[in-house]
Amino acid sequence: MLGLSVAVALGLAAAGKGPAALTTPAEVEALCRALARGGGDVSSDPVARADEAAARPERRRRALDRSYELRVPGRQLHFRSYDAENESLRIDDRFALGAIGGALAIYPAGDGDGSGFALRATPEQARRVVRAAASGDGALLVRFRPSGSCAGDPMAHAFSLGAQPGELAFVAEGGKLALPGAGDWEPRPPGGAPTLKVLPAVVASGGVDQAGLASRLETDAALRRCYAEALDRDPEASGAVILSVAGKSGAHDVQVAMDTTEDPRLAACLSREVAATSLPTTGDALLYVPLELGR
Question: pLDDT tens digits, residue range 48-64?
Answer: 777 777 777 888 888 88
Same structural domain, 202 and 129: no
Beta bridge partners of 79: 91
Q: pLDDT band for position 115 (50/70/90)?
A: low
Taking the C-alpha atoms of 229, 232, 234 and 237 in order, what is their torsion angle to the nearest 10 degrees?
A: 50
Residue at 6 is within a domain: yes
Residue 185 located in a structural domain: no
User: Quick one: 77 and 152 in the same domain?
Assistant: yes
Instruction: Give pLDDT tens digits for 14-24.
Output: 434 567 889 88
Same structural domain for residues 234 and 254? Answer: yes
**Phi and psi torsions of 238, nearest 5°:** -165, 175
The yes-or-no verdict on residue 35 having pLDDT over 50 is yes
Residue 255 confidence (pLDDT) above 50: yes
Cβ contact 138:177 at 8 Å: yes
CA 58/CA 261 separation, integer angstroms: 12
Q: Which residues contact 50 (CB under 8 A, 6 or more apart)?
A: none
Please check whether residue 186 lies inside any domain of the structure: no
d(Cα 162, Cα 56) in Å, to the nearest integer?
20
Q: How many distinct structural domains can be found in the chain? A: 2
CB atoms within 10 A of CB 137: 17
Q: What angle do CA 288, 289, 294 make, to 5 degrees?
A: 140
Q: How many CB atoms lie within 10 A of CB 251?
A: 9
Residue 110 lies in a domain: yes
Between 18 and 229, where is the model more confident?
A: 229
> What is the average pLDDT value for the chain, to the nearest integer?
80
Last residue of a domain, one of 152, 178, 204: 178
Name the residue range of residue 96's domain: 19-178
Residue 184 lies in a domain: no
**Per DSSP, what are the bridge partners of residue 275?**
none
Do 170 and 202 reside in the same domain of the chain?
no
- Strand-pair category, 175-178 with 97-99: unpaired
Same domain for 139 and 226, yes or no, is no
Same domain as 210, residue 87: no
